[in-house]
Amino acid sequence: MPYIAPEVLSGDEEYIKAADVYSFGIIVYEIVTDFPPYPDIPHDNDLVLKICNGLRPKIPFHTPKLITRTIMRCWNARVTHRPTFEELAIELINSTTTTPLNYQTHSQAIYTSRLLNFSKLPKPGNEVNFERELEELTKSTPALSIGIQDQIMRATKRRSNETTRRRSNEATRRRSDEATKQQSTLATRVM
């Protein structure tokens, strides 16, 4: 449950890739910090309500700013403000840390799949200072804005070209298959 995006928990929106981006942010948090999300509190209706109201795991201060910014962008309650996986791939290159930390896991913190049935949850939102903190992190990494945007544009163009080429190949293959069928049908009729 702690890996599930708030809009999925609340049932407000249809499931889209942005929900996977949120989950990816939780996984990156866990990899970077060596902490599972919310280990010290029960994984119950109260946690779901808190997540929908903007609760996110606390990112330690020693986490590199680029990683912190990336994780926070993934966790944004405004789905359209989350990065795409292409953007994430570019941002996370060469950005890792390995600082093991100790923590206590709550007895009701459950990290296995189970049926979740929550109702009457609020519309997902960010914590009070989320937007300000993200803005500060964005300002403190100005090089990110220039270099990564160029890389993202190139990656997007490359992906678009690959998609166009694949679709063209598929269309050619379909036309060839149809022509073969027609020839086969004609040959059968002639016999």
CB atoms within 10 A of CB 188: 8
How far apart (Å, rounded) are the C-alpha atoms in residues 127 and 175?
Answer: 54
Query: How far apart, in Å, are the Cα atoms of 83 and each of 20, 131, 183?
Result: 11, 15, 49
Give all domains of the chain, ordered by start, each with its CATH number. Answer: 6-140 (1.10.510.10)
pLDDT digits (tens, 9 = 90+) for 44-82: 999 999 999 999 999 998 888 888 888 999 999 999 999
pLDDT digits (tens, 9 = 90+) for 96-149: 545 556 678 898 888 888 888 888 888 888 888 888 888 887 776 554 444 555
Q: pLDDT tens-digit profile of 136-188?
A: 877 765 544 445 556 566 666 776 677 677 777 777 887 877 777 777 776 66
Element counts in the chain: helices (H) and strands (E): 7, 0
